[in-house]
Amino acid sequence: MKVIFSDYGIDISEENGHYYITFDEGGFAIQMKTYEITKSDAEKAKLSANDSYQVVIKYQNKEKKHN
């Protein structure tokens, strides 16, 4: 995977047309988490810290619904 953006506490990577967001989901210890995201969400997350936070929460909530 190639990192195409790194700021606001996130990395956005792209591989074969698929986009991924990686961030630290840990509280006291570092726990890196990666989600596959849409291209439009990848673009949104690059806009600002608030937009990146909204994208992170969206995918965390999706995962909680599936568990």
Fill in the DSSP letter of residue 28.
S
* 7 pLDDT higher than 80: yes
pLDDT of 67? 65
The total of other beta-carbon atoms located within 10 Å of residue 12's CB is 25
Give residue-wise pLDDT tens across range 10-64. Answer: 999 999 999 999 999 888 899 999 999 999 999 999 999 999 999 999 999 988 7
Contact between 20 and 37 under an 8 Å Cβ cutoff? The reply is yes
Q: Does this model's pTM top 0.75?
A: yes
